[in-house]
Amino acid sequence: MDEFNRRSLLTGTVAAGGAILLGGCVTDNPAQPVAQAPTRHGRGKPAPDTVVATDFGDPQPQYSAMYGPVSGEPFPVPAVKLSTVDPAFLRRLVSYNSSEPPGTIVVDPFHHYLYHVQEGGRAMRYGVGVGRQGFGWNGVATINSKQEWPDWYPPKEMIERQPELKKVMSELQSGIGMHGGPRNPLGARAMYLWQGNKDTLYRIHGTVEPWTIGKSVSSGCIRMINQDAIDLYRSTAVGTRVVVLGSARIG
């Protein structure tokens, strides 16, 4: 198994700062939502029983269903205001040539895409937001665990730098943190990436800031629109192989 290559971990001092950032999974300075013109991508067909967009016809009706409110959740998952998200980063089934077996997750931080490899040379592609440190690591990990509406435990160093966080924190089972819910920065779902017995501190998770998808603005982790995080979560098992590409790779 490949080791993660992190430029931020070349020295002890920088490593500590990198771990703080990666463990945070919050936005530094989120950009304001901006309406974008629609774009089109590679051709594909919908998977059975899955609402996806393809290049066939007007995608807007499909997107409206795909990103509508989610029922059956313990907390509200409102419809996404599609005008705030670049359509290039909405869920789409695409042609994808990869040597990775079906079921593998491939993350391309440079282009802000996550690919869930499927049979027949295709992949479900999701737009993602990455951290400012997101280009400094690559390698192979596995999903060690998954959680619905996860609690968030920011490092104590982050709380020291941002004392205002104390106002929304409380004593939880595993320390000072924030209960899962609609205002939690980890969103509706989280998948935790490990290498062997070591937590990489990277997570694939939802977000309450869908307009940050396609950008590099967070303090770490790989964020998805909540509806996309829920979709990936239910089609991904613990133990799934996750490949994170370097900045020069093209997904």
Is the confidence at residue 183, as pLDDT, over 50? yes
How would residue 221 be classed by pLDDT, with cut points 50, 70 and 90?
Answer: confident
Mean pLDDT of 4-17: 33
Give the model's confidence band at 170: pLDDT under 50 very low, under 70 low, under 90 confident, else very high: confident
Domain annotation covers residue 251: no
237: domain CATH number? Answer: 2.40.440.10
In a domain, 35, yes or no: no
Q: Measure the CA–CA gap between 49 and 126, rounded to whole angstroms.
A: 18
* Least confident residue range of 87-96, 102-111, 174-183: 174-183
25 pLDDT band, cuts 50/70/90, is: low
For residue 228, what pLDDT band results from cuts at 50, 70 and 90?
A: very high
Answer yes or no: is 187 within a domain: yes
Per the structure, how many domains does the chain have? 1
Hunting for tokens 């029922």 — which residue is that?
71
Say how many CA atoms lie within 13 Å of 29 toward its Cβ: 0
Q: Could you tell me which residue, 236 or 55, shows the higher pLDDT?
A: 236
| Tokens standing for residue 183 | 């205002």
Which has the closest alpha carbon to 129: 5, 7, 25? Answer: 25
The pLDDT of residue 217: 78
In single-letter form, the type of residue at position 8 comes to: S
Q: Can you tell me whether residue 136 is helix, strand or coil?
A: helix
Determine contact, residues 175/141, Cβ cutoff 8 Å: no
Residue 181 has pLDDT above 70, yes or no: yes
| 3-class DSSP assignment, residue 222 | strand
Q: Is residue 37 part of a domain?
A: no
pLDDT at 92 over 80: yes
Q: Is residue 3 part of a domain?
A: no
DSSP code of residue 196: T
2 domain residue, yes or no: no
Say if strands 113-118 and 105-108 run parallel, antiparallel, or are unpaired: antiparallel
Tokens at 17, concatenated? 């700062």
In this predicted structure, the answer to whether residue 101 has a pLDDT above a threshold of 60 is yes
Asked if 85 and 59 touch (Cβ cutoff 8 Å), the reply is no
Q: Is the pTM of this model over 0.85?
A: no
Nearest residue to 23 (alpha-carbon basis) of 97, 113, 183, 131: 131
Containing structural domain, residue 80:
10-27+43-244
Does residue 91 lie within any of the structural domains? yes
**Does some domain include residue 143?**
yes
Query: What is the reported pLDDT for 224?
Result: 97
* Angstrom distance (rounded) from CA 50 to CA 48: 5
